[in-house]
Amino acid sequence: EDQVTQSPEALRLQEGESSSLNCSYTVSGLRGLFWYRQDPGKGPEFLFTLYSAGEEKEKERLKATLTKKESFLHITAPKPEDSATYLCAVQAAGGQNFVFGPGTRLSVLP
Amino acid sequence: ETGVTQTPRHLVMGMTNKKSLKCEQHLGHNAMYWYKQSAKKPLELMFVYSLEERVENNSVPSRFSPECPNSSHLFLHLHTLQPEDSALYLCASSAAATYEQYFGPGTRLTVT
């Protein structure tokens, strides 16, 4: 059964304090790993797709990396507006199903 | 309208009511999805439609009935729901069933 776990469950950072969020997955052949950001009361907002181990993607202060067992979302010099819940999801090869992790709730304090 | 829209944004219904949730995507996508998001639980995929055909149904109770009349519209028909069905129901679309998804704002459903 495909599974996704995320750690930590919650993270509080000071503005400018860089850190990383982890997404560990078990899937029978990975088609893609997806990162989303979700603000309270809103739907998730797409950030990145990673397809193979070693791949990296960047957007502003965010950088996502992928290995065969996990993905990291690195946040460099975060700002308060980066506060949100970050969700990771995987899709297995040959299927239509997406499996989401429980998310990491990030708070960046000014 | 742009992106993915959902109506209503909030819905309160009794256990004997029948209601429908509506989703519309303005992105020219071919796949649409319904998700359930409950407190303290990960997003749960309920249904997947690709080119208007249902391709995934994750053991969802029959009191939830999806309908996809065309590639831009998706409905979720609700009847005789239970209090544990109270949740945020999210609609999403993607260019194909293997691409990243774009979500609507959700319908906050409360079953009394």
pLDDT tens-digit readout, B59-92: 899 999 999 999 999 999 999 999 999 999 999 9
Pick the range with the lowest mean pLDDT from B2-6, B66-70, B73-77, B95-99: B95-99
Q: How far is B32 from chain A (nearest CA, A)?
A: 11
Q: Please name the member of B90, B100, B105 whose beta carbon is closest to the beta carbon of A34.
A: B100
With CA atoms as reference, report the closest residue to A44 among B7, B23, B75, B88: B88
Q: How many residues does chain A have?
A: 110
The answer to whether residues A21 and A102 touch, using CB atoms and an 8 Å cutoff, is no
What is the arithmetic mean of pLDDT over B97-107? 90
Backbone φ, ψ for residue A5 (5° rounding): -125, 150
- Reported as a pLDDT band with limits 50, 70 and 90, residue A108 is very high
What is the arithmetic mean of pLDDT over A89-96? 85
What is the arithmetic mean of pLDDT over A74-93? 96
pLDDT (tens digit, 9 = 90+) per residue, B27-58?
999 999 999 999 888 999 999 998 777 777 77
**Residue B52 has what DSSP assignment?**
T
> Of A98, A100, A105, which to mutate for an interface test with B (greatest number of B Cβ within 10 Å)?
A98
3-state SS, one letter per residue, for chain A: CCEEEEECCEEEEECCCCEEEEEEEECCCEEEEEEEEECCCCCCEEEEEECCCCCEEEECCEEEEECCCEEEEEECCCCHHHCEEEEEEEEECCCCCEEECCCEEEEEEC
Cβ burial A52-74 (10 Å sphere, 16+ → b, else e): eeeeeeeeeebbbbbeeebbbbe
Instruction: Give the pairing of strands A30-38 and A84-92.
Output: antiparallel
Q: Do residue A44 and residue B90 have CB atoms under 8 angstroms apart? A: yes
Cβ burial B83-96 (10 Å sphere, 16+ → b, else e): eebbbbbbbbbbee
Give residue A10's pLDDT: 97
Most distant CA atoms of chain B, gap in Å: 38
pLDDT over 90 at A96, yes or no: no
pLDDT (tens digit, 9 = 90+) per residue, A13-68?
999 999 999 999 999 889 999 999 999 989 999 999 999 999 999 999 999 999 99
Give residue B1's pLDDT: 64
B28 sits in the region (left: phi over 0; alpha: psi -120 to 50; else beta) called: left
Under 8 Å CB pairs connecting chains A and B tally to 54
B interface with A, Cβ–Cβ below 8 Å: 4, 33, 41-45, 48, 50, 55-56, 58, 90, 92, 97-106
